[in-house]
Amino acid sequence: MSDKTLSVWNPVKTDRFLVGAPHYPEHVDESYWERDAERMAKAGFNVVRMAEFAWHILEPKLGTYNFDLFDRAISMLGRHGIDTIMCTPTATPPRWLTAAHPEILRVDGKGRPMSHGSRQHCDTASPVFREHSKRITKAMAEHYRDNPFVVGWQTDNELNTSMPESFSKATLSEFQLFLADKYREIAELNRAWGGDFWATAYDSFDQVVLPIEFGPTFPSPGHVQDYHRFLAFSTARFQHDQVEILREVKSSWFVFHNLGGLRDIDFRGQFSKDLDFVGYDIYPLLYDEFQRLGNHAKVQALHLDICRGFSGNYIVPEQQSGFGSQPGFCTLTPEPGELRRMALSSVAHGADGLMFFRWRPAHFGAEIYWMGIIDHDDIGRHRYEEAMRFATEMTALQPKILGTYVRMDVGIAGSDFDNQEAHKTYPIGLPSPQDDAILVHQHCYDKGIACGFIHPEDDLSRLKLFYVPHWVMWKDEWTAKLEAF
């Protein structure tokens, strides 16, 4: 694990503002590729992101690799001055892997294994899945080691967004090992979890079960808290496997992850310290659709300020560019001019790079109506024009933006994994600390007060006001910083 300092005041260490789009050449006939590259170059794009869902193409059967499609796409884009960020494709393992190892599937709280398909159906705690993850990562890294157009990597895709939990046999076994390493003696675990209540004490670590609600009643809050700590540990370990390989193969590559749902990841721990910077996928109209706060600009500011509190400035690997939907929901369509406004808002809240999702829409699949910069009829309309204007503006502004941090007068205590999870173990119908924090953030946003989230162990000296929501856990070492402030 890196010893780098995580701080809200950190800029991304980069010499250019990355601007472009996630690109899926596997979704369109190759006859479109040249025209796509020409239009990207004309728009001022300097990078694309590729291959996060393409494991089945890269390795059509065990040990047989085929990089031809992406080699041609990378070369085509490179000739037009566009670099590529490759992704480890472990969010969508191939069907042959599921068929050979059904034990790697996630299992829900009712004991039902996930079916193959969609994404994130495999359990990141599974030792078998981890070995295959390392194998495909190494094969891709070694293949692209000397490709001058591959400049960096994204690990997986939105880890834990679709389903962070698992109740599989692999998860149980790894959870027991995690607890044995943490507590050493079973008596210590029983003391921490209150084993004398409802006869929940264990005689050994291999007796420990996974915390299932209403089985028949509530598990111990300590049991649930440690389970979510384990999920965060397991996620960080899974990513670390990949990062370690990528850095060994070529240390000059930058490595990041694109955060999505923010569940069961400890952003102040190994997960973020392993990365050069974090990325955050922002869909303002989607989040407003879910939360009904009535102001997607306010929702966007909230999410980005939460993200910046983890480790500082970030990039946006996926910025909403148009109407979005899956079978169960749809968003509003950004008005003309809104694509650019949303992108500029991301920069104002700390983005040192931004990619519009996506270059062109897919003609099939669960996101067939998720629009891109180019429309279904292959015509670039106002979204393309707005993306071009934004790219031109960022190229001009990058000397003034890069290396800076976001001013913050009011800091809200945040970014602490234990406090994020602790409320969930025993909510009793009360607002969470984050619910409390959101009210303060909304007030500051409405009044034009520079506000954000910051961890108590961070540098508080630049703040005028520090607000701590009703956290249920507090470390003694934070008190000195609070008193000094």
Length of the chain: 485
Q: Closest by alpha carbon to 301, among 377, 167, 406, 458?
A: 406
Catalytic one of 59, 165, 174, 318? 318
Catalytic one of 59, 158, 165, 174? 158
CA distance 309 to 267: 9
- Give the burial string for 16-48 (b: 16+ CB within 10 Å, else e): ebbbbbbbbbbbbeeeebeebbebbeebbbbbb
Question: What is the rounded end-to-end Cα distance, in angstroms, of the chain?
Answer: 30
What's the longest Cα–Cα distance across the chain? Answer: 69
Q: Which two tokens stand for residue 220?
A: 């111990």
CA distance 129 to 159: 15
Q: Which residues contact 273 (CB under 8 A, 6 or more apart)?
A: 1, 2, 3, 4, 6
CA distance 348 to 71: 35
Q: Is 318 marked active-site?
A: yes
Q: Is 59 marked active-site?
A: no
Known catalytic residues?
Answer: 158, 318
